[in-house]
Amino acid sequence: MADMGFDFKAPKMNDIKQWEKVRLLFQHGYNFYSCGCCGPGLRPDLLREVEGFLASNKSLSDGETLLKKIAQKK
């Protein structure tokens, strides 16, 4: 069991693809908390959209952030 957040709406029990989507999002640090005004932010609707979502919303490590700043100064 995992705390998915107040805005989490569980898929139907037999919707395997949606449960896999939820698992992948949670595994990568996404949950369904919000400030209460506008929801938890954008999340992919379908399992096939998760890979692109994760790639475009990838968190950078401190080292990656530093390298990016150095590259922008050149």
Q: Is 4 exposed, middle or buried (0-12, 13-18, 19+ CB in 10 A)?
A: middle
Number of H helices, E strands in the chain: 3, 0
pLDDT tens digit sequence for 17-65 = 999 999 999 998 888 887 766 666 788 889 999 999 998 887 767 787 7
Q: What pLDDT was estimated at residue 38? A: 67
Task: Confirm whether pTM is higher than 0.75.
Answer: no
Question: Over 90: is that where the pLDDT of 16 sits?
Answer: yes
